[in-house]
Structure 1
């Protein structure tokens, strides 16, 4: 019970002579340091909040304007054209101020108003500049003079050293596309998927929609875009994620893996200690807004709104819809190990726990041999099953007593950590090692992840790590940004001792981790078991395969003068056709974060141009020159579609919002119903590398991430996530379902590999042919000279 004595701040004894009070200096010191840190934290947040509100100006620029107005008073000039005198005459409580004081106060008020006016003018000008997206459609390395001038203006108005949220007020709103344009693009996108008869039927539905319901629905959507910062994001979060009543495990949550080839230490507690400490450092920067905003071309800012809910966030189940609960300033995390839940405090004396102190806390949990309480072992299965039983169980059994206190501890925790029992990671000797690693991160045992938390950090006995992320609050690049920072900090800043422990001394006076208490009746245990069985069936049905493509990478693709993403997407189309024998509706995720509160848009990668290229590849009579010409045409088409999606001219978010408006108004639209019911049999996404400056891959080629993945969107389809790492590696994460005999993730990986090599061969043959022709020309030229 040593930890109980350490937690007591004072002791008192009652005796006949009075009360003898003994204070603990150590605890009082911690209280003082905690209070000091809290006030310092508030001061820093206040300062950074003010800097963000007045950006791109600064308090020093306000002082300059005030001094200039003061100088005008004493020099007798009148730049304000009498406005200062007007303010002076209308000041309240004039009798309390001298003439000179009124003049000075009037000058300060005018200077402040002028300063704020210029801030709004600059922001408005920047917003207008950022509404221009022509730069994104220009060929790489061929920027027009007008775009260069635009870029210089953006840089000039962007100020210096922006904070994370400095550009939020200057970001433009997502525009609502014209219905006519959306319908034309939609019909174009489904043409390769439909025969002539079905396409004619779709044309009729689209025409009837455009002539009848479209204008009314569009008016309401435009009206919404005027009074909200983003006409899509709130409905997207609610209807795509939070209103889903099925399991979020596999169907919604996604995962991110650790470094592929490197494990900094094989001590589980030590690696978890460093990673958690690095996350706390990142959270501190995030809360203070001190992270640099992500900017395209190093200049065009991206929206940072999604990052606000990264920590201390939980998805709360409801009967009809869930909601996202975000708290601030919570100082603990909850750790799961062998069916037990532990609460670990992350701060002491006003500071973060050091990595060595966190290692000691986690090692205590690993050494704990206590047994789970009745119903505790598989409790988290409630978050893995259907949402309605979980919502009802939460209301009935977790609304009071120790169950409520323990559940509050989980839901308010910074994040959820699982100390897993089985080693995972990439093993070159085991071709299925990435498969089991992916399944462990995606669903684990179905009861050892709290799937409602914003993210679960998973630690393995061999030192490997990973993350499982709930999808409603943010998209993959948001967590990816944090994970890049954490891995770089762990390996290159924190480090380990020669024995593999965290560096630094350990404070042995810290309180030990606290077991959470549960009183779970048998009726609740029955619901837990039912949720577990449902989740187990879903998990066992998922077929994951991880494939490392090492034949070539971004370096060689760029030498082919084509986009790496377009190259891979066309390879996926070729692989899909070879695997299934037909084309299918394909989803590629694109971001819209150049707009305020932007999230994602869909790129429909199966185009008529892509289909023509694939058919040419399968046609033995087609020449390589014909295939290559069709590839370049399809790649250009894909790149243009991706750019349109990024700049707010996509198809699917507009149609989705029109459908939501139709439901609110009770308007039946056969066209929208048909569009929203179409299955995405091939769902793809690229995991971007956003902070390539953190790790020099050329210097440290082994320190590369493995990316992440997600479950299949359609039961009879594939989910494919890929990450382009450095110049010579592309990692694919492929998912499907065992229960559908027409899909096989390992088989699809073989098709992807062959498609990638076949496309690269086209360029190689063209290069070889060109070299031969050039050689002949040189030979003829030499013969002429000799003659």
Structure 2
């Protein structure tokens, strides 16, 4: 439990004496300590204490930038708690690292422990939090502070800090059954017919009966929640990713388009790649040393686990379910990256013998060696195997690994920190479609004729740099959502702008190791089949990158409307104008307020949004009425978002109930076999807001054959959109959707400017 800044703890823990002008401390239960340890006097103070921590941070304490540390008082002047005083030192050290370097954390900054005596009951140590006092203006600013990384303030290794942070996070709740069922019926109203809704109401009534199947499944979920760190995370990883059998290319793995770089030749390409790799290693050092600043959203600390999954990891194909390997931890941590050029893979060690990372100059020399030894263009594109249907790729994978050389090469790719793809130039296109072409290059490489074989799509992170200045990445989605990837990219982009400092070591570096493959006739056939299937996918993907220049997130904010809610409502209006009805809409909501949290669904198609889009082009409604409906719809979206990020949305709960039925070996309830349920899960609009400091945009494919994938990055003065569809569906068109979306945004602005603000 973490109180707000400046809260007096007397009302929360009356048996703990705390007097803090600059910090709030949550302590152990005095009564429990007295019961377990008779030496304990029951007195607590908030004086400068904990000598071990202060000795290491004395200068900071003397500066007065850190004021409060818990000090215990024992009748025999000792601390008889085994395993309690020692864990406090790194804990307080981590807090002081944050405060003594004058970082102002977001409201709710917490560090909590309890890893001492494993036999001591967990509840006997609540942990503590140190929060700097804030004035009124600071508190108001904190309310509006977005999710983001605090600046790095220390390079000293803080062992155990990540684990302490993770243990302090709450567990994902199981929402109340009746609440979810009520909200499910409400979510169906704008997207199903009255007849379908009536039938579903009957099924819900049966499902929710006291002592019925719904309650039994709910109790099963609640039992699962008590014995796991997160009742959803393993299920979600398996059902959403590892058991998904379509190719990861287009169907699962997102791409990111970075701003075009100003180089136009091989030298520029390699120089930029070297600096980019140096930036990756700089970010990796924060992860390895556990000095990566914690992210916050709405003043709440977020789960940082995904950051520890994205480097040195890889997906492995399986016949029915894939798996993920992670080499980031353990004694044999990865020391190399994979570099691909002309379909040829190289193992590049990125650390010197003393453990220091290679400089950009050193990396440039190594990349030149790779480029010069991979000029042949007749090599088989072995990486194209990773683009195939997962079952087909699993079979080909087993064939590939029968050969010892092939197995060693594949393992080197899987163990690598990440992959850097040095792409050949793509065909030139006009400026108006250039970004759309780059989006396709990031997502799939352009097909077998171009750069699709210059990838290993199972690798979590693949950075792509082309000779013409095009650059970005594609990432395998299973280990992480977009925000940690974007945070890494923001760091790298800023790092590439820094000048080189100091001279590089003059020690000669070994030749990067070429990863060789023996291609049997069977493997050759697998490659040809993968080429054919990939080229069909490439031809089918319709993608449009649109930069909306008329305004950015500043305008809706000036109207006191959430920019995300405004954009989502514009998507609803665009879709309604195109098709004459609303559709099931998916927007990802982060569950990272909870330990191991991934995502839930914000259902943007609501009763309120349907009322607005129906009224927008109606002559029977005044501008004032339309504007009021717009504001009500955006407020409804904001409320659903808030509900979702707090673990109370409906989609993952419904999925959990369904999976619980499967696990209990009972028949699937009729509720999940219903037409309305199928409609609700058929997301014609699959959307995501992925904000970034960098002027970039993420992109991904649709999740249904007749749907759209829409990702956007709202900047202050413009909005970047990436819209995808499938050419094989005659009813969808990415450019047409972009046109209607642009018109919707403009019309909504005109409406708000024309109608005076009303008090809703």
- Which TM bucket (shorter chain)? 0.7 to 0.9
1:681 counterpart residue number: 684
Distance 2:566 2:138 in 1: 21
391-400 vs 180-189, which moves further: 391-400
Tell me, yes or no, if structure 1 residue 336 matches structure 2 residue 340.
yes
Whether the aligned pair in 2 keeps the contact of 1:340 and 1:372 (CA below 8 Å) is no
| Deviation digits for residues 288-338 of structure 1 (CA, Å, limit 9, x no counterpart) | 1111011225x4211001111111101001111111000131111121111
| Deviation digits for residues 557-606 of structure 1 (CA, Å, limit 9, x no counterpart) | 11111111111000000001112222100001110111111111100000
Out of 364, 368, 373, the residue aligned to residue 363 of structure 1 is 368
Distance 2:453 2:746 in 1: 41
Structure 1 residues 58 and 396, CA gap change in structure 2 (3 angstroms)? farther
How far does residue 454 in structure 1 lie from its aligned partner after superposition? 0.7
How far does residue 356 in structure 1 lie from its aligned partner after superposition? 1.1
Tell me, yes or no, if structure 1 residue 539 matches structure 2 residue 538.
yes
Structure 1 residues 377 and 117, CA gap change in structure 2 (3 angstroms)? closer
109-118 vs 461-470, which moves further: 109-118
How far does residue 223 in structure 1 lie from its aligned partner after superposition? 0.5
| Deviation digits for residues 471-494 of structure 1 (CA, Å, limit 9, x no counterpart) | 011111111111110001111355
Distance 2:278 2:568 in 1: 38
How far does residue 113 in structure 1 lie from its aligned partner after superposition? 4.2
Tell me, yes or no, if structure 1 residue 587 matches structure 2 residue 576.
no
How far does residue 264 in structure 1 lie from its aligned partner after superposition? 7.1
Structure 1 residues 339 and 142, CA gap change in structure 2 (3 angstroms)? closer
Distance 1:127 1:423 in 2: 57
Out of 177, 186, 199, the residue aligned to residue 184 of structure 2 is 186
Superposition pairs of residues 546-585 of structure 1, within 5 angstroms: 546-585=545-584
Distance 1:518 1:214 in 2: 54
Query: Equivalent residue of 1:432, what SS?
Result: helix
Cα RMSD after superposing both structures: 3.3
2:395 counterpart residue number: 392
Distance 2:583 2:484 in 1: 29
Aligned length: 633
Query: Equivalent residue of 2:215, what SS?
Result: helix
How far does residue 423 in structure 1 lie from its aligned partner after superposition? 5.2
Out of 465, 473, 477, the residue aligned to residue 471 of structure 1 is 477
Structure with more helix by fraction: 1
Query: Equivalent residue of 2:755, what SS?
Result: helix
How far does residue 231 in structure 1 lie from its aligned partner after superposition? 0.8
Structure 1 residues 569 and 64, CA gap change in structure 2 (3 angstroms)? closer
2:454 counterpart residue number: 448
Structure 1 residues 79 and 325, CA gap change in structure 2 (3 angstroms)? closer
Distance 1:739 1:648 in 2: 37
Tell me, yes or no, if structure 1 residue 410 matches structure 2 residue 413.
yes
2:599 counterpart residue number: 600
Query: Equivalent residue of 1:529, what SS?
Result: helix
| Deviation digits for residues 657-681 of structure 1 (CA, Å, limit 9, x no counterpart) | 1111111123221212343673101
2:193 counterpart residue number: 195
Query: Equivalent residue of 2:543, what SS?
Result: strand
How far does residue 422 in structure 1 lie from its aligned partner after superposition? 1.4
Whether the aligned pair in 1 keeps the contact of 2:591 and 2:599 (CA below 8 Å) is yes
Tell me, yes or no, if structure 1 residue 651 matches structure 2 residue 650.
yes
How far does residue 424 in structure 1 lie from its aligned partner after superposition? 8.8
In structure 1, runs of 5+ residues without a counterpart are 1-53, 67-77, 85-103, 131-139, 149-154, 156-160, 496-502, 693-703, 771-787
1:172 counterpart residue number: 170
| Deviation digits for residues 497-520 of structure 1 (CA, Å, limit 9, x no counterpart) | xxxxxx955847212222211111
How far does residue 127 in structure 1 lie from its aligned partner after superposition? 7.4
Structure 1 residues 112 and 223, CA gap change in structure 2 (3 angstroms)? closer
Query: Equivalent residue of 2:647, what SS?
Result: coil
Distance 2:383 2:368 in 1: 22
In structure 2, runs of 5+ residues without a counterpart are 1-27, 29-45, 56-71, 92-110, 115-122, 130-135, 144-149, 151-155
Whether the aligned pair in 1 keeps the contact of 2:540 and 2:727 (CA below 8 Å) is yes
Query: Equivalent residue of 2:236, what SS?
Result: helix
Distance 2:487 2:431 in 1: 30
How far does residue 65 in structure 1 lie from its aligned partner after superposition? 11
Whether the aligned pair in 2 keeps the contact of 1:164 and 1:292 (CA below 8 Å) is no
1:352 counterpart residue number: 357
How far does residue 378 in structure 1 lie from its aligned partner after superposition? 2.2
Structure 1 residues 560 and 215, CA gap change in structure 2 (3 angstroms)? same
Whether the aligned pair in 2 keeps the contact of 1:271 and 1:463 (CA below 8 Å) is no
Out of 692, 713, 717, the residue aligned to residue 723 of structure 1 is 713
Structure 1 residues 58 and 661, CA gap change in structure 2 (3 angstroms)? farther
How far does residue 719 in structure 1 lie from its aligned partner after superposition? 0.6
Structure 1 residues 126 and 487, CA gap change in structure 2 (3 angstroms)? farther
Structure 1 residues 513 and 114, CA gap change in structure 2 (3 angstroms)? closer
Distance 2:555 2:263 in 1: 30
Distance 2:127 2:191 in 1: 39
Task: Normalising by structure 2, report the TM-score.
Answer: 0.78
How far does residue 128 in structure 1 lie from its aligned partner after superposition? 10
2:703 counterpart residue number: 713
